[in-house]
Amino acid sequence: MNEESLWAIFVNAALVNNFVLAYFLGICPFLGVSAKMATAVRMGGAVVFVMLVSSVCAYAIHHLLVAIGAEFLQLIAFIVVIASTVQLVEMFIKKISPALFRALGIFLPLITTNCAILGLALFQTNKEYDFVQAIVYALGAGIGFTLALVLMAGIREKLEFATVPDVVQGTAIALIVAGILSLTFMGFAGLGA
């Protein structure tokens, strides 16, 4: 049982050890989706949702595998369940709220290869969080991801109007901005300790 307080876990996941800016997880969608604010917000929302669902599944799988002594199947079980979860979530949302489904659009399937989701499952298992801690961790991670995405989108929208040298355009300038954002987030270190 991990001794951290819920507040500490949340702050740690969202700010101090932000999944994108500190762990480099979810870079692909981060660079790909952060060009426009509207898409960034929607992607962030989808990620929070999938993270919560995956966190619960990962918790259940881990304890099931430990109970039957098959821990070595953990990675395969995680990846299979995450992929299926996204499929199920997609179908579920389609049924329950077609409007929401249209709003999320292509982003839901894109989340499957998002390293951040698997990273969440692995980290929470390594840290031996109990159920409530895991939920808070997932919430923090998702919100942190959304925050980073939204900040990035805001900056990139402004960058459209700036003169960026040819050689830096595209991925390079996005990475530099991400690096600066990462440095700023370091200011949160020690918070929640």
Binding site for other proteins (CB under 8 A): 3-4, 8, 12, 16-17, 21-28, 72-76, 79-80, 83, 113-115, 118-119, 122-123, 126-127, 166-168, 171-173, 175-176, 178-180, 182-183, 186, 189-190, 192-193
- CB closer to other proteins out of 7 and 131: 7
Shortest Cβ distance from residue 103 to other proteins (Å)?
26
Query: To the nearest whole angstrom, how small is the minimum distance from the Cβ of residue 40 to other proteins?
Result: 18
Furthest CA-CA distance within the chain? 60
> Residue 96 or 175: which CB sits closer to other proteins?
175
Residue closer to other proteins, measured from CB, 98 or 154: 154
How many C-beta atoms lie closer than 10 Å to residue 177's C-beta? 16
In the complex, minimum distance from the CB of residue 184 to other proteins, in angstroms, rounded to a whole number: 9
Instruction: Report CA 164 to chain centroid distance, whole Å.
Output: 29
134 Cβ contact partners less than 8 Å away, ≥ 6 residues apart: 55, 56, 58, 59, 124
Q: CB of residue 46 vs other proteins: minimum separation in angstroms?
A: 17
Both tokens assigned to 17: 């050890």
Which has the closest alpha carbon to 82: 27, 138, 32, 133? 138
What single-letter amino acid sits at 56?
A: V
Q: How crowded is residue 183: how many other Cβ atoms within 10 Å of its Cβ? A: 10
- Shortest gap between Cβ of 33 and other proteins (angstroms)? 14
In the bound state with other proteins, the residue whose beta carbon lies nearer, of 35 and 103, is 35
